[in-house]
Structure 1
């Protein structure tokens, strides 16, 4: 048994400071100047947005962002030199993901007895100058409006995967040591607020983090050598992504600490997964994970899923710290809401680290029975957060053929030999996911007994639970669904369905469910049939 390592603090820690008073300099004159419409040649109001680390001014078509003069355990912007360096780095790390959005740096100068935006004078502060977009277009607002549809989530996964592909690799990085430092910072930060975070809960979280770090250290180190550790966005949550011209744009990457942004790719993604999950967007979080894994190509990083509970917990712990730090700027109802938010993040971290057994769920049935829709809705509740990996035969067949998900394949791609290759690949991938301790849902016709038996054997060999659902409905009803299907990976036609219906299913020991009615009715029947298998 591995002995969990003690969580050590980072090698270099900023000076201690009271969590109630992280501000080290008075910037009110700067903020007042940037909030004045006359500074921007405007008559209308300037909108101000405050965060724990910056103050943002929205003035017409422009945005000016000033770093706060603060020192937290996780961020030190206490000097003008540090804030200037952070502003420069913000430009550098965001231009690839948000081209055209970041315009440059502008000094705030003292001249003729007053402060001015740009021009000659003594520099007293720096601002990052950006092109303004609709602030209601950030994905936190989109989520609040219920606008996180499948198309947007899939596009988001593609954007994150593309950013990760561009990111510089760091195979030399000491990932276990770096994450131990992050964990120590989280624990220390939570301990500084005993009136908010109960010491017993913080101690229990520290023990769980230490245990996870000890168990995962070899994997984390190996993934660096595999190219899975890169200079990432680092602060990838919904508020730092905007839908601009219909596409998700990543902005406001972490700029003040290269160590906090040089991370495992799944740790970067985990911030988004945690943000979605903590907002009750379990379906979106699960779809994002699956779409991201799919976007990574032929060899998704399934081994890294073993570390996802740790990554999610660290992200939630960091967010609990940040939420607690922001309480200094709140009063009344906003203060109480902020306290509740901080505690909810701590609860999410605890849930993420609570062991949940992996299991394999198989869904079979003829074309049109709704296998994929059901699988997507069951997946979030199977195995550790954010739910099961969803493997689909239609998608795997297209990948093996080297075509796009929605490209149609010729009949030669549906021979018995081709289908056997697809099913073998599904089983191999399912085994890899289960080996990581994660749940998996496999959705395919599975009409032959040997196909069903072989999949059940994957779970048996892993020593994990297995459930099989067989969906059935009148052929006429299925034909109508197949005929109406659009924008789907399946190539099945009504003729293919009729051919399936003529074959014998053989001995069937999976749970038989009627697929008649609405998807919601089928989901309810499946949840009732599976019972505790689909409830955390």
Structure 2
């Protein structure tokens, strides 16, 4: 034990002497929970990736943690406080004596409300998943842009570091580790020009850097990002999609495919379209993140109280996920058409999580694209002039082009629109043939009364359809429909099952 660690243990003992204080140790910090307050002290340690070995360095690290995290979580992070030695030899938090240690002064939150705990308890609420995506979008919007050259150059080190870490202890198959590394390098070589271009476009930023589910907490039912990497800006200076990939991957690991798909689609809808042109990086990024978590799990085996069986199970699950993600299956295109009120958007959202590759299909919705074309919020109601035939034609052009972008990146897409005319349906089918991607067309039908009742029960959303619009659509000349016609007059579950059966039948016919 060094003099620094011995001095810290004296401080830690004094803090724990107060009734009700709970101490939690990590590899680099000790956190003391006292009622609604939390004090986080950097431990006097030195690792290859951080150095807290002196009081000055620990103070600087505390200040940096506040600087990085307070904009993301002002309700958690407050200030840096000194722990002082008073003239009588006693220790005080924020006293007037000589500073002998520094701590990050924080508000304590309910530890059971982090997303990893919530995910283990059952399916995550869709609204919470959407809000988590919004929080990530906001964090990336405020993140300072950086030179992408260093980031791209660092990726081979991540792949190699994963290989080295996964081999330690011989807990995983050496051949499978080697195969993972080879597959990662193959994708990296193919994507390097894209990654370099994203750096030039400004998508490499000083991000959170550690966005797994344990670092997102629901406070007043709103997700808050905390514990961003402060000890090394290089580790957190990454492509924004690599930051997002940690959350997506961890949602998949925790058995939350619907939440993962919601986060992906919400993020893409709220960020520039260049991200659609970069979906091909997600398999590599998510795989790297999963391998890192497998390493983190294996590192816990060195603890004296380690649950070896549980730790090895978790490590194997993350490793297996890394191996699965690096080999995405062939993408596909699904089209969901039908008049207003047939349940197209609900169906598209329900289908998307189970359309490979993970984390599910990108949903492209005509209602959203129309709002984007006029640069208004999704819930803003547009005037009738924005539904002129030439505007609608432009909406379908963008829909088809966006689907082409997604498919070109090796990702699946679901296109959600009325598709009332044969020309609109053929336009999409022609693009699918050009991309050599199978198209599953679904056309939902329901009687007018059902459609109007559903429209009347809607709350604020992206659709501008009214009950009057639904009645007018009864006179549309839909023409010949060569897609599967689906009775959508029943429950959402019944419609979903009919569509799954139809898709399965179409797959057999291909």
2:353 equivalent to 1:377: no
Residue in structure 2 matching 1:531, options 499, 504, 507? 504
Provide the residue aligned with 2:361 in structure 1: 388
Counterpart contact for 1:35–1:46, Cα < 8 Å: no
Indicate conservation of the 8 Å contact 2:443/2:483, yes or no: yes
C-alpha distance in structure 2 between counterparts of 1:188 and 1:38, whole Å? 38
- Partner residue of 2:253? 278
The answer as to whether partners of 1:384 and 1:439 remain within 8 angstroms in 2 is yes
Shift of 1:279: 0.6
Distance 1:483 1:118 in 2: 59
Q: Secondary structure at the match of 1:361?
A: strand
1:429-444 → structure 2 map (5 Å cutoff) = 429-444=402-417
Residues 328 and 356 in structure 2, CA contact (< 8 A), matched pair in contact too? no
The number of aligned residues is 505
Cα separation, 2, equivalents of 1:355 and 1:397: 31
> For residues 294 and 496 of structure 2, what CA distance do their matches in structure 1 show?
34
Q: CA-to-partner distance for each residue in 1:369-420, whole Å, 9 max, x for gaps?
A: 1111111121122232211110111111122122221122221122211211
Note the 1:249-260 alignment, pairs <5 A.
249-260=224-235
The yes-or-no answer on 1:307 pairing with 2:281 is: yes
Correspondent of 2:28 among 43, 53, 67: 53
Look up the match of 1:294. 269
Q: What are the superposed Cα offsets for residues 155-181 of structure 1, whole Å, 9 maximum, x if unpaired?
A: 222221111111111135333311111
Cα gap change, 1:28/1:458 in structure 2, threshold over 3 Å: closer, same or farther? Answer: farther
Matches of 1:306 and 1:35, distance apart in 2: 51
189, 192, 203: which one pairs with 2:168? 192
Structure 2: state its 5+ residue gaps.
Answer: none
Question: By how many angstroms is 1:49 displaced?
Answer: 2.9
Task: Determine helix, strand or coil for the equivalent of 1:174.
Answer: helix
Aligned positions of 1:90-489 closer than 5 A: 90-108=65-83, 117=93, 119=95, 120-121=97-98, 123=100, 125-146=101-122, 148-194=124-170, 196-297=171-272, 299-329=273-303, 331=305, 334-489=307-462
> What RMSD in Å do the two structures reach over aligned CA positions?
2.6
Distance 1:52 1:100, change over 3 A: same
Map residues 487-526 of structure 1 onto 2, 5 A cutoff.
487-526=460-499
Do the aligned residues in 1 keep the contact of 2:80 with 2:105 (CA within 8 Å)? yes
> Whole-Å Cα distance in 2 between the matches of residues 477 and 206 of structure 1?
54
Superposition map of 1:73-84 within 5 A: 75-77=49-51, 79-80=53-54, 83-84=58-59
- 1:2-13, aligned counterparts within 5 Å? none
Distance 1:58 1:165 in 2: 32
Q: Distance in 2 between matches of 1:278 and 1:390?
A: 22
Query: Relative to structure 1, is the Cα distance of residues 523 and 143 closer, same or farther in structure 2, using a 3 angstrom cutoff?
Result: same
CA distance in 1: counterparts of 2:323 and 2:45, whole angstroms: 29
Cα distance change on mapping 1:477 and 1:397 into 2, 3 Å: same
Q: Distance in 2 between matches of 1:78 and 1:197?
A: 32
SS at match of 1:248: strand
1:382–1:534 contact (8 Å) kept in structure 2: no
Are the aligned partners of 1:449 and 1:507 in contact in 2 as well (CA < 8 Å)?
Answer: yes
Alpha carbons 2:261, 2:359 under 8 Å: kept: yes
- The 2-side partners of 1:350 and 1:343 are apart by 10
**Partner Cα distance (1:149, 1:534) in 2:** 32
Deviates more, 1:100-109 or 1:57-66: 100-109
Aligned to 1:19: none
Could you say what secondary structure the match of 1:301 adopts? helix
Q: Deviations over 1:15-73 (max 9, x none)?
A: xxxxxxxx99995874575466665xx53x22233334333221122211233455666
Contact residue 52 and residue 326 of structure 1 kept, 8 A? no
Residues 109, 115 of structure 1: 8 Å contact kept: yes
Gaps of 5+ in 1: 1-22
When residues 225 and 300 of structure 1 are mapped into structure 2, their CA distance, relative to the original with a 3 A threshold, is closer
How far did residue 442 of structure 1 move?
Answer: 0.4
Q: What SS does the aligned partner of 1:249 have?
A: strand
- What is the distance in 2 between the residues matched to 1:527 and 1:95? 46
8 Å contact kept, 1:35–1:47? no
How far residue 309 of structure 1 moved from its aligned partner, in angstroms, is: 0.5
Task: Report the CA distance between 1:456 and its aligned residue.
Answer: 1.2
SS for the counterpart of 2:398 is helix
TM-score w.r.t. structure 2 length? 0.92
Deviation at 1:110, TM superposition (A): 6.6
Distance 1:65 1:328, change over 3 A: farther
What does the per-residue CA deviation read over 1:282-322, in whole Å, with 9 as the maximum and x for residues that have no partner? 0111110111111115x351122110100000111111111
* Aligned equivalents of 2:16, 2:337: Cα separation in 1: 66
Alpha-carbon shift at residue 142 of structure 1 (Å): 3.0
